[in-house]
Structure 1
Amino acid sequence: MAIDPTATVHPSAVIAPEAGIGPGCLIGPFCVIGPEVTLGPGVELKSHVVIEGLTEIGEGTVVYPFASLGHAPQDLKFRGEPTRLVIGARNRIREGVTMNPGTDGGGGVTRIGDDGLFMANSHVAHDCQIGDRVILVNNVAIAGHCILEDDVIVGGLSGVHQFVRIGRGAMIGAVTMVTADVIPHGLVQGPRGVLDGLNLVGLKRRGAGKADILALRDLLGDLGHGSFRDSARERANEGTDNDYVREVLDFILGPSDRSFLAPR
């Protein structure tokens, strides 16, 4: 690997000779880049960024001061195995963010999608799978093995328990602890998070119509009686022509044995 001749590197930056620095990259002062790091075209490191391990960062991503990416996972089972952190394109990774690579026991890779915003001091732990356009607000902590689908927003100072799945378009309110799976387009609030309805703002922004929202509300009413999976199975057997309802049912009946956050 090598530093592309069109990259701009501040003289105080420390870059291992084996690292790959793509065309048009901007490496600011006092950054440290390890030998197995690959930066795609146009990646910008503002200053004081440290990147280690088998870490790939996609085109146009901007990383702000004091972010730490690719260092060993905070998992006592980790024994130095060669695992990866893969970050997609056009992400904004703000001050003090930490992202860890995967572990052998969790699939070996932590993956971040495209066009995300990771605000100051947020954390993505080992083996997480983060979708596109995800927003983590300041001081959010995502524990190991979590799945956040596309367009998820997690409010400031919130925590997500390990192995939790959060469905597409869900919104987690600030200062919330999420201990169970969250259905797509759900709205979760409260210190010990509960499902408090639908993320109506997000649904409308993504083009959901009145009929879609009414169908989802009807589904939530059915799911509030008894077991989530049993209720979802009954609704799935009845069939539906609504894509949003089908998405929620598929999520609930998917390959997971975790419980779900239920309506109040």
Structure 2
Amino acid sequence: MPAFVVPRLTVVGAGPGDPELITLKGARILAEADVVLYDALSNAELLSHARPDAKKVYVGKRKGLRGYLQQEINDLIVLYARVHGHVARLKGGDPFVFGRGREEMLYAQRHGLQTDYVPGISSAVAAAGSVGIPVTHRGLSESFRVITATTTRGELSDEIYEAARAPRTTAVILMGLGQVQAIADVFCRFGGAHRPAAVIQDGTLPTARMISTTVAELPTRVAAAGIGAPAVIVIGDVVNLASAPQAADIVPELAPLYAAVA
């Protein structure tokens, strides 16, 4: 590495899956970087933005296969930056939404690297939106909360219990497929058995799949459909909007206006 190059890290949000949903800045950083470290949840098509001579290193984790430990990834960032210069760390969704992006930046800073962050579109909002489910909607949901299903100790998050007590709040649960029965049990315990619930697999991608049901039926429906990760669980009245009819059907008096502008 030339002496004048300052080792640096840019943590880049890859977006929710669709490769067109990366930001312009994210694509530019990939084109400038000397090394790209990418995860399993970042679409491999995004590597086409990288320079042909850039090193592209997979550091993700897949079920059943050994993945890099977080400390190993941290060390690779520092090593590659010191040897090659600019490291782009490509992470699925937004790196600051359960992505450990800030953790990697702080480690890099402690080891003398300059750091930057490029936000990404989070699957917490985009996966639901891609199938017509808004996380908030006037008259149905006053707020939304994004929850990781399990804590660092491997236990069901206390936030699941808080969400179950808040029927006017949309619950968006990430990394929760393995805990779907426990999640349903908690919501049922607090009177939410009949709350609308959906699971979206591969949101924003052509392979996307969705099931829409009630909380009580969710575990059975997930198992029967063979839904797999990555998937997002959404619980709340907004789920009913996924199959809502067109506006002209909802408000018949507007139908003539639609005909006039067609």
TM-score (norm 1): 0.24
Which structure's relative contact order is higher, taking Cα pairs within 8 Å and 6+ residues apart? Answer: 2
Q: Which has the higher strand share?
A: 1
In terms of Rg, which structure is larger? 2
Q: Structure 2-normalised TM-score?
A: 0.25
